[in-house]
Amino acid sequence: TVVDTTECLEITGGFDASMKNLEGNYSVKLIKNNSVIEDQNLKVKKGFKFTLRKNMFYTIKVEKEGFIPRLFSISTKLSNKVEMEELFKFYFETNLISSDLYHHFDDDDMDFPIALISYNKKCDCFQYDEKYTEDMMTRIINRLLFGS
């Protein structure tokens, strides 16, 4: 069986309002099979954009000096029944935690993606797993506030 790997998803993003006073550059890496396949070095006010292929697993890593990198996991697995007239689009905003706070966290917390993004046939769109992200954010906040 030949796996369809045509382009299927345009993913764009940038920093949210909490990061608006940032200066300088940041980098966004698109990773597949543990290899960086695309690397964008951007001004902090500028967003990034990647076009992803069907039936793959990707990681997007957002990095800025002085901050803990943030990971996003994306699955572009689509059933052959999904009709595509144009690329799906997914946009997200993120923020970063100062690396001064790194000692508050288990390495595991920082190595896991903050969001899992995949196709949802109910809406015929790509979405993130809200429960997973909420659980991760709760763990991060609890570690910051309570050290537990």
pLDDT single digits (tens) 19-72: 888 899 999 999 999 999 999 999 999 999 999 999 999 999 999 999 999 999
Q: How confident is residue 132, by pLDDT bands cut at 50, 70 and 90?
A: very high
CA distances from 61 to 80, 89, 122, 125, 148 (A): 29, 19, 28, 22, 26
pLDDT surpasses 70 at 97 = yes
Q: What is the mean pLDDT of residues 110-138?
A: 92
Q: How confident is residue 111, by pLDDT bands cut at 50, 70 and 90?
A: confident
**Distance from C-alpha of 117 to C-alpha of 22, rounded to nearest angstrom:** 26
Percent of the chain whose pLDDT exceeds 70: 97
Residue 66: what pLDDT?
Answer: 94
**Distance from C-alpha of 73 to C-alpha of 64, rounded to nearest angstrom:** 18
Residue 148: what pLDDT?
Answer: 61
At 14, is the secondary structure helix, strand, or coil? strand
Helices (H) and strands (E) in the chain, counts: 2, 11
Q: How confident is residue 107, by pLDDT bands cut at 50, 70 and 90?
A: low
